[in-house]
Amino acid sequence: MRKKFDVLVVGSGAGLEVASFAAERGLSVAIVEEGPLGGTCLNRGCIPSKMLIHSSDVLETIKSSEKFGIKSKIEGIDFASIVKRVSEVVDSDSVGIEKSIRENGNPTLYKMRGKFIGPKLMQVGDEQIEGEKVFIVGGTRPSIPPLPGLEITPYLDSTKALRLEKQPEHMVIIGGGYIAAELAHFYGALGTQITILVRGKRMLDKEDEEIADWFTKEFSKKYQILFNAEAEAVSYQDGKFTIKLKGDGNNKIYADQLLVAAGRVPNTDILEVSATGVEMDDKGFIKVNEYLETNVEGVWAFGDILGILPFRHTANDQVGFSISNAFTDKKVAFDPFAIGHAVFSSPQVGGVGKTEQELKKMGIKYKVGREELKNTAMGGALQENGLAKVITDETGKKILGVHIIGPQASILIHEAIVAMKGNGTVDAITQSVYIHPALPEWLQRAFFDIA
């Protein structure tokens, strides 16, 4: 049996916004989602991870109290209750979304795995559903390397790591990106011994190299990081993982938990997007034009499944463009310029725009301004250090990129985002009167340093 809908949305993250828009205007809408409603961000990504990480941030604050003349004592950590609290909040929100959709009747929810069998046609269970307009917002999932022995062990991916009820004594993490950094901070700050296997010479290697090197140095003071290290095989027995490393000799690491944080892959294979005729790149990410249209007429895609700045706030931004381009006569091009990001680890990292290594590769001339937090009044108050780095064009006027490592970097980076989205010049920062001695002075001084 085949059912026809005006709109078919695949994925219940940011795709829900499109579904709601269409349903409110009387269009028949179908949503296909096999997992909990709310998508990756709500259920297994940014929301639960940041809630968990805040507990670790609080613990670090308490542990550092003595340097401010305050003696404190931590009597215990209820790890299970930390995880339970976060899981209950997330699950409640997800259930609430599903209940609301089912009560309204439109959109129609297909809570099961769907597979494309034609350009705008999906098989969902025993039914075939077709959409006049189709939005593929299927997201990504953890990338699991083909490591001998791994699949028959109870290893963790980032999703499972957010729901672990018992705190590990020793966790080995495969990967050196932002997920590895954030989860290492969560578990490590609470007392788990952390060993990180990094294939290269630094963590966060997609950040500006100067920031990545700073982060790597600071993180190495807290946790064991093995560089140029790769796992060759994994085994599990009597509650213990054995991770054999590549190289000469019999180099092995033993731990009671193994977390694989080796990046993410698009769900285009699971959804069998190839059956639609939609073009994808060699990694399986969907190709779209500036209007978020695929090469198949009437099919749009956005979110992580594009591989373009794969953050929830990117997808949220793309919602408006998708709606305008699909449901109105006015086409508006999506522009990824000045979409920032943050790593909620310790230290925090925030970035927006081009990195210095990217500009070198592109052959673009530039200028740099830097300021260390320790040189500011608030740096002395916090007794912490960090680096704010500003990159402009060769005139020293147009902002090309801003990168911060240190306290509240995830907040401070928004100063740069607003400036870049505004007039895009350093004047937005340098000609403003900043409150002294507030933390944002640190970033302003980096702008003043541009020579």
Total count of residues recorded for the chain: 451
Alpha-carbon dihedral 421, 427, 428, 433, rounded to 10 degrees: 170
Asked if 276 contacts 122 with a C-beta cutoff of 8 angstroms, the reply is no
Asked if 170 contacts 195 with a C-beta cutoff of 8 angstroms, the reply is yes
CA atoms of 373 and 174, how far apart (whole Å): 31
Catalytic, out of 54, 313, 414, 436:
436
CA atoms of 387 and 235, how far apart (whole Å): 41
436 is catalytic: yes
Asked if 436 contacts 377 with a C-beta cutoff of 8 angstroms, the reply is yes
Orientation of helix 209-220 relative to helix 178-189, angle to 10°: 20
- Count of C-beta atoms within a 10 Å radius of residue 114: 24
> Catalytic residue numbers?
436
